[in-house]
Amino acid sequence: MKIKLFVFLLLLTCRIPAIAQLAKPEVLSFNEFLGYVKKYHPAVRQADLLLSKAETALMMARGGFDPKLEVDFNNKQFKGTEYYALFNSSFKLPTWYGIEVKAGFDNNEGTYLNPQNKTPDHGLTSLGITVPLAQGLLINQRMADLRIAKIQLQLSKSERQLQAVNVLYSASIAYVNWKRANDEAKLYEEYMTFAEKRAEAINKLIKAGDKAAVDSIEARIVIKNRQLNVAEAKLKLAKSKLELSNYLWIENIPMELRETIIPEDDLEEVIKLALNFEGALQENTDLAHHPKLMAMQQKIEILSIEQKLKRNMLLPKLDVGYHYLSEPSYFNDFQLGNYKFELKFSVPLFLRKERGALKLAKLKISDGQLDLSLERLQLKNKITAQQTEIKSIQQQIDITASLVSDYDKMLLAEERLFLMGESSVFLLNSRENSLVSTKLSRISLENRFLISNVDLFKIKANME
């Protein structure tokens, strides 16, 4: 009777996890991990470069409106004779509506100077304006480039957010899978300890003559199976740590996890807060600020600007210029009769190239609008489906938790029957295997639940 009481106490003791008696390892929290990813991961930093590139492109587009200073000097000397010396300078100021203001100074001389290039002794100044009356007045390539560059800046912000979301999504999945591998390894190690203690108790019962010697073989088989489970779980854990290390950087240096570091235990609320899941399961979903839809809308806006430019190309070219001419010393004495007048006109007879370009621009806009409508519907349905999946998995977790509790009670009852001689090692191990399988199912469901939440974060792409 004393032997049975000792064995019963030993079996009860083996139900207490031995891992809990060890020193508490260091925890890498999800928030801390995500903070490293956001700050140092190369792909996130590359996403920031998209914004810098767009800002640079905007600066280049604004360069189309920069004032321009031009100087042109030509001189010909031959056998002591100055054939000509031509000095032409100008200052051009482009404006928004295709109008160009130009100031110039010419000073030409020489024996064989072309009469039309002849200027007064002190040179000739000019101040004038060139106005496109048809093509290029309301919109031209310079104006279109600047407008497109401004939209490209907003587009780059949307694309930057999408790229950052993809990196954070992959990193979060790696962390969740690391937690699953860690939980499974801890579970197998725990039940391997249980199997070893149970084998010790069975050996004492065999020595006391209360159990057959064959029961020790059954106990050894369980230990070996648990050892195989632990080895496989540790391999999965090692791989998951290496996968997680892909997202751990400090400055430009990749980092590796130490063996003593473990994941955070309760992740459900932490993930929701870290990934901005306020109201994630609400039925009404506002997609007005979704970065993917915004990016598609911005691309349509760019196509609309190109369409306006193509439509403007259907107009004839009609440029009119007036330049007031004066000697430098008499510039304050205006005489409108001294001027240079320009008139340029051209138009293609069939406009086939221009009409084709306009039609192609319209087709691109129609294609983009159809893609936008389809993407909006797909996103809405994906979010609804993901919300439904999360609720379903939560219900399954609750049911599995109840099953774990019931299997645990059944195992405890089987242990009592075993000590009373009314059960066998086989039934005891069968009960324990059912409990372990159910706990593994709970870990798997918890993993699916966390991944579903992370999937919803990726679909909604909300980082604000």
* Backbone dihedral angles phi then psi of residue 452, each to the nearest 5 degrees: -65, -40
E strand or H helix that includes residue 109: strand 100-109
Mean pLDDT of 118-135: 90
Q: Among candidates 197, 154, 161, 198, which has minimal Cα distance to 290?
A: 161
- In a domain, residue 401? The reply is yes
- In a domain, residue 73? The reply is yes
Q: How far apart are CA 400 and CA 402, in angstroms?
A: 5
pLDDT at 5 over 70: no
Mean pLDDT of 106-119: 90
Do 285 and 179 belong to one domain?
Answer: yes
Q: How far apart are CA 201 and CA 181, in angstroms?
A: 30
Report the DSSP pairing between strands 26-28 and 261-263. Answer: parallel
Do 212 and 330 belong to one domain?
Answer: no
Task: Provide the domain limits for residue 410.
Answer: 2-61+143-304+360-460
pLDDT single digits (tens) 146-170: 999 999 999 999 999 999 999 999 9
Under the banding of pLDDT at 50, 70 and 90, the label for residue 383 is very high
Compute the mean pLDDT over every residue in the chain, rounded to the nearest whole number: 87
- In a domain, residue 370? The reply is yes
Q: Contact 28/119 with Cβ under 8 angstroms?
A: no
Predicted local confidence at residue 12, as pLDDT: 47
pLDDT single digits (tens) 363-382: 999 999 999 999 999 999 99
Q: How far apart are CA 237 and CA 255, in angstroms?
A: 17
Of the two residues 335 and 440, the one the predictor is more confident about is: 440
Q: Among candidates 18, 446, 23, which has minimal Cα distance to 262?
A: 23
- In a domain, residue 335? The reply is yes
Q: How far apart are CA 318 and CA 145, in angstroms?
A: 22
Of the two residues 23 and 101, the one the predictor is more confident about is: 101
Q: How far apart are CA 140 and CA 159, in angstroms?
A: 28
- In a domain, residue 236? The reply is yes
Do 91 and 173 belong to one domain?
Answer: no
Do 70 and 160 belong to one domain?
Answer: no
pLDDT at 22 over 50: no
Predicted local confidence at residue 330, as pLDDT: 58
Of the two residues 46 and 462, the one the predictor is more confident about is: 46
Q: Which of 350, 371, 405 is the last residue of a domain?
A: 350
pLDDT at 333 over 60: yes
Half-sphere exposure of 409 (CA within 13 A, CB side): 5
Residue that is written with structure tokens 């002190």 in the block: 122
Q: How far apart are CA 34 and CA 142, in angstroms?
A: 43
Do 188 and 258 belong to one domain?
Answer: yes
Predicted local confidence at residue 318, as pLDDT: 93
Widest distance between CA atoms in the chain: 136
Do 332 and 368 belong to one domain?
Answer: no
Buried b (16+ CB within 10 A) or exposed e, 58-81: beebeeeeeeeeeeeeeeeeeeee
pLDDT at 120 over 70: yes
Half-sphere exposure of 60 (CA within 13 A, CB side): 11
Do 123 and 216 belong to one domain?
Answer: no
Q: Contact 135/11 with Cβ under 8 angstroms?
A: no
Do 411 and 445 belong to one domain?
Answer: yes
pLDDT single digits (tens) 263-311: 998 888 888 888 876 555 555 567 888 999 999 999 999 999 999 999 9
E strand or H helix that includes residue 321: strand 317-326
Range scoring the smallest mean pLDDT among 119-133, 265-279, 344-358: 265-279
pLDDT at 7 over 60: no
Alpha carbon distances (Å) from 271 to 168, 186, 241, 247: 12, 22, 19, 17
Alpha carbon distances (Å) from 345 to 35, 132, 133, 166: 62, 10, 10, 53
Q: Among candidates 452, 310, 296, 457, which has minimal Cα distance to 388?
A: 452
Do 300 and 396 belong to one domain?
Answer: yes
* Backbone dihedral angles phi then psi of residue 255, each to the nearest 5 degrees: -115, 160
Predicted local confidence at residue 464, as pLDDT: 57
pLDDT at 259 over 80: yes
| No. of helices (H) and no. of strands (E), the chain | 9, 10
Q: How far apart are CA 61 and CA 151, in angstroms?
A: 12
Do 170 and 100 belong to one domain?
Answer: no
Q: How far apart are CA 244 and CA 443, in angstroms?
A: 19
- In a domain, residue 355? The reply is no
Residue that is written with structure tokens 């430098």 in the block: 328
Q: How far apart are CA 240 and CA 257, in angstroms?
A: 10
Highest averaged pLDDT of the listed ranges 177-186, 203-212, 274-283, 423-432: 177-186
Predicted local confidence at residue 285, as pLDDT: 67
How far from chain centre, in Å, is Cα 405?
42
- In a domain, residue 371? The reply is yes
Which of the 8 DSSP states describes residue 316? P
Residue 422 belongs to a domain with what CATH number? 1.20.1600.10
pLDDT at 439 over 70: yes
Q: Contact 26/261 with Cβ under 8 angstroms?
A: yes
Do 418 and 365 belong to one domain?
Answer: yes
Total domains, the chain = 2
Mean pLDDT of 384-392: 93
- In a domain, residue 309? The reply is no
| Total Cβ atoms within 10 A of residue 19 | 12
When computed from its CA atoms, the radius of gyration of the chain, rounded to whole angstroms, is 40
pLDDT single digits (tens) 217-230: 888 888 999 999 99
DSSP code string of 394-434: HHHHHHHHHHHHHHHHHHHHHHHHHHTTSS-HHHHHHHHHH
Under the banding of pLDDT at 50, 70 and 90, the label for residue 332 is low
Do 261 and 380 belong to one domain?
Answer: yes
